[in-house]
Structure 1
Amino acid sequence: MNKAVRHLADGRRITYYDEGPRPLPRTAVDSRDLPEVTAVSEIRCDPLTGEQVVIAAHRQSRTYKPAADLCPLCPSSLGRPTEVPETDYDVVVFDNRFPSFSGEAGHADVVCFTSDHDSSFRELSPRRVCTVLEALADRTTELSARDGVALVFPFENRGEEIGVTLHHPHGQIYAYPFVPPRTERLLQAARTHRAEHGSELLADLLASERADGRRIVAEGRYWSAFVPPAAKWPVHVLVVPHRQVPDLAALTTPEREDFAELYLSVLRRCDALYDRPLPYVAGWQQAPVHRDRDLAWLHLELFSVRRAQDKLKYLAGSESAMAVWINDSTPEQIADRLRTAG
C-alpha cells in the first residue's frame, strides 16, 4: 500500500491509500474557494446520569442527500470539484468538513472505500477490504497519538433507514475525548469475568459459541462471526478474531486477509436475507488509548433495523427511554436465517 498526504483548499488533511506497486504523484489541487473551517463541538455532561453529550450545532448545514452527479465523495472531474481533488482513487480519508467532534472535543474523519459511487462495501474485492483495514489501522495509530484522544471508533452506516445522507460507499472515524459508555460496560464485564474466572470473557464466549454452533454465521481460520446470545437487533452479528488484540493496528496480514473473506461472506448473507441491500451499522470496538488495553478484545459489531421484508424495528418506549431491549426474533433464528441466506 502507498500513502500520500495532501491538503484541501480550506487546510483540511486528505490521505490517499493506493494499492499499486509504486506511489502515485497525487498532485491534483483543490480548486474550490472554501471558507476556513470554524466548526467547534462542545461536550456537556448530563447532571442526572453523568453521560457525555456532544453538541455540534454546525452540522445542521451539512450536505443532505445530494443527487448522484453532485456527490461530494466522488472523484473530481472537469468543472466539478469535490472533496477529493484527484480524478480517481482507491481508498481516501479526509477531515470531515462538518465534524461531530472537533477541536478539543475530538476529531472526525470520512473514509471513502472506493471511487465507484454505485458500489457498496459488499462489492469490494478482498484486496480492497484489506486496504480499508490498513487505512483504518493507520488512522487509529495517528489519532491515538493526539493529545486528548481516549478512543478511536471506525464505523460504517449504510442505508437511508439508518439515517445515511450520502450514498457513496463510505464510513467514518471518530476520535473520542472520552471512553464511550458501551466500551466502559464491555471493559467492566471483562474485568469482572477475569476476576471471577481467571480467563478472558470474549475468549470464553467465542469458545462456547464455536462449540455450540447454533449461533455461528460463518467461520474462518482467524475469525468467527456469530449472533450474540442476547441479540438486541433483528439482525445482529459479532465478527471476532480468535486472538486477543487491542485494535486494528495489532492485526497481522494473514488476519486481515482472513477477515476480508469472512466479512464479505457475512455481508452477502445480510443482503440475501430480504433480497435487497440491508441497512446496517457496522462498528469496530477497539481498546481505549491509555488504559485497559489488556482487557479489551477487538471485534466488529454489525446490526440492522430491518426485521422483515417490509418492516423496520423502531425503538419504542422501553428501548429509547429505559435502554431495556425487546427482540422479536431469537438469536438462534437470526443465525439460522443468515446461514440459509448464504
Structure 2
Amino acid sequence: MRTRQVYRSIGRLADGREIIYYDESPGTGRAEVADRRPLQPFAPGSQLRHDPLLDEWVALAAHRQDRTFLPPPDQCPLDPTSGDRLSEIPAPDYDVVVFENRFPSLAPSPGPLVAADGGDDPALVTRPGAGRCEVVCFTSDHTGSFADLSPERARTVIDVWADRTEVLAARADVAHVYPFENRGVEIGVTLQHPHGQIYAYPFVPPRIERMTATARAHRAAAGTNLFDDVVAAERAAGTRVVVQGEHWVGYVPAAARWPYEVRLFPLRRVPLLTALSDTERDDLALVYLDLLRAFDNLFRDGDPAAPPTPYIAAWHQAPVGADGAPDPEFGLHLQLFTLRRAPGKLKYLAGSESGMAAWINDVAPEAAAERIRAALPSNPAHPGTAPGDPANRQPATRPSEKEQP
C-alpha cells in the first residue's frame, strides 16, 4: 500500500451526539455539515444489574425496543444524507464515519459508578449503565460489504478501530473496548448497510475476564504466556491453520465451538489494536479481506447469487485499568465465526449451549479448516482474486488530528 494518511474531524448531530468522520483526503469539510433533523436532546437510559450466581453484570436498555428495524433500502439511516432524505450522517458522502448509537445499550449516566442496592428490593443490585456505544460505517455504498472494500479502505477501518480504542480506553468509566461486526439477519442485524459497532464497557466482559484469569494462571504454572503458547502449538500442528501473512496467522481452534470459526492473531503479541505497527496493519487489511471472502465462498457452491454468509467478527482486546493501561499478559486477536453449518442450515444454540454453556460442534475443526483454505480467493485452486500483493505494501500513518475543529 502507498504511504497514506487518515484525517479525523468531529461534528455534532441535532440531538447532541458526536459524529466523527475519517477521511482519506483532506479538506472535505464533512464535519461542518449541519444535521437538519428535528431531534430531541439525546438522553438514553441504561442500567446494569448484577447476577449474584454468575457474578456478572447484565445491561437493561428498554429504550432499544424502539430502534429502527430493517427499513427499506431507500430509508436506511446509515446512508449519506441526499436532498430531503435525511439520515444519521448529514454529509452527502463519506469514507468511514463513526457516531454515537441513537439507541445505545450503554451511555453516559449521572450518578456514581459503584454498585447500589435496589432499596426495597433485596435481590436487586444496580449501577448506572455508563459507557459508550458507537456505530462504524465502513463505506457509503449501501449494497457493499466489508469483503468488498479495497485494501486501502480496509486499512482505514483498521486505523479507525485503533483510534477509537485509544480514545475510549482513556475514559475513566471504560474497562474494555470491543470493536465488532454483526453481518446478516440470521445474526440479528437490524440495518443492512455495511457497518460495525464499538462497545466501551464499564466492566470487563465475562469472556475477556475468563481469558485474562486463565492467562494469569498459566503464567503462574508454566512461566510462559498462554496466548503465545496456544498460537505456537497451532502453528506447529499446522493442520488447522487456514491463512498466514507476513505478520498474522489465522487458524480454526482445535476446540472450535462454531461450525466455521477462525481466530486471527498477530505473530507479535500486543494487547490492543493501538499497538499494531504500520506494516502489521497493512498485512492485516490483506489477510482479513482474504478471510472474509473465503467465508462468503464457503456456501456458494459456484452460485454467485447465493445468500452471503452471516458472521460475527469480534476483536478481543486486553482489559484496561483505571489509568487506561492494558493488561500486558493479554493477546489481541480476532474471532470470526458463522452460525451457518451447511447451505440452508444454521447452528442453533439450544439446550446444551444456551442452558448449560456446554458447546457441541457439528463440524470437525480439521474439516472446517480444509474447507476454508479451499475457499480462499488467494488459493490457486479457487477462481477468485486475492485482495492484494504483499510485495506492494508500504507503511502508512495513523489518524491525524488535522481538520479536527
Q: TM-score range by the shorter chain?
A: over 0.9
SS in structure 1 of the partner of residue 262 of structure 2: strand
Partner in structure 2 of residue 187 of structure 1: 212
**Which residue among 295, 299, 318 is the counterpart of 1:270?**
295
1:47-89 per-residue CA deviation (whole Å, 9 max, x = no partner) reads 2222110000000000000000000000000011100001110
1:187 and 1:147 map into 2 onto residues whose CA distance is 20
Verify the 8 A CA contact 1:236 1:303 in the aligned structure 2. Answer: yes
SS in structure 1 of the partner of residue 22 of structure 2: strand
Partner in structure 1 of residue 310 of structure 2: 279
Partner in structure 1 of residue 349 of structure 2: 315
Verify the 8 A CA contact 1:155 1:283 in the aligned structure 2. Answer: yes
Q: Does 1:120 align with 2:145?
A: yes
Q: Which amino acid aligns with 1:280?
A: Y
Q: Give the number of the structure with larger relative contact order, counting CA–CA contacts within 8 Å between residues 6 or more apart.
A: 2
1:185 and 1:335 map into 2 onto residues whose CA distance is 26
SS in structure 2 of the partner of residue 326 of structure 1: coil
Q: Which amino acid aligns with 2:215?
A: A
1:49 and 1:182 map into 2 onto residues whose CA distance is 12
1:164 and 1:111 map into 2 onto residues whose CA distance is 14
Partner in structure 1 of residue 245 of structure 2: 220
Instruction: Report the more deviating stretch, 241-250 or 189-198.
Output: 189-198
Deviation at 1:211, TM superposition (A): 1.7
Q: Which amino acid aligns with 1:148?
A: D
2:227 and 2:247 map into 1 onto residues whose CA distance is 14
Question: What pairs up with 1:35-50 in 2 under 5 angstroms?
Answer: 35-50=40-55
Verify the 8 A CA contact 1:9 1:33 in the aligned structure 2. Answer: yes
1:178-213 per-residue CA deviation (whole Å, 9 max, x = no partner) reads 001100111111112111221111111111111211
Question: What pairs up with 1:1-342 in 2 under 5 angstroms?
Answer: 1-20=6-25, 22-26=26-30, 27-104=32-109, 105-275=130-300, 276-290=307-321, 293-342=327-376
1:256 and 1:317 map into 2 onto residues whose CA distance is 40
2:102 and 2:174 map into 1 onto residues whose CA distance is 19
SS in structure 1 of the partner of residue 366 of structure 2: helix
1:223 and 1:277 map into 2 onto residues whose CA distance is 25
Give aligned-pair identity as a percent.
Answer: 55
Q: Which amino acid aligns with 1:323?
A: A
SS in structure 2 of the partner of residue 59 of structure 1: helix
Verify the 8 A CA contact 1:75 1:115 in the aligned structure 2. Answer: yes
Verify the 8 A CA contact 1:159 1:278 in the aligned structure 2. Answer: yes
Deviation at 1:292, TM superposition (A): 5.9
Give the TM-score, by structure 1 length: 0.98
1:38 and 1:292 map into 2 onto residues whose CA distance is 30
Q: Which amino acid aligns with 1:312?
A: L
Partner in structure 1 of residue 379 of structure 2: none
Deviation at 1:223, TM superposition (A): 0.3
For these two proteins, the number of residue pairs brought into alignment is 341
Instruction: Report the more deviating stretch, 288-297 or 155-164.
Output: 288-297
1:103-133 per-residue CA deviation (whole Å, 9 max, x = no partner) reads 2421100000000000000011111111111
1:99 and 1:56 map into 2 onto residues whose CA distance is 8
CA-based RMSD of the aligned residues comes to 1.0
1:143-189 per-residue CA deviation (whole Å, 9 max, x = no partner) reads 11112111000000000000001000000000000001100111111
1:117 and 1:318 map into 2 onto residues whose CA distance is 38
Whose Rg is larger? Answer: 2
Runs of 4+ in 1 over 3 A off after TM superposition: none
Verify the 8 A CA contact 1:274 1:309 in the aligned structure 2. Answer: yes
1:179 and 1:278 map into 2 onto residues whose CA distance is 30
Deviation at 1:36, TM superposition (A): 1.1
Verify the 8 A CA contact 1:215 1:335 in the aligned structure 2. Answer: yes
1:330 and 1:257 map into 2 onto residues whose CA distance is 32
SS in structure 2 of the partner of residue 98 of structure 1: coil
SS in structure 1 of the partner of residue 196 of structure 2: strand
Q: Which runs of 5+ in 1 are unaligned?
A: none
1:49 and 1:212 map into 2 onto residues whose CA distance is 35
Give the TM-score, by structure 2 length: 0.83
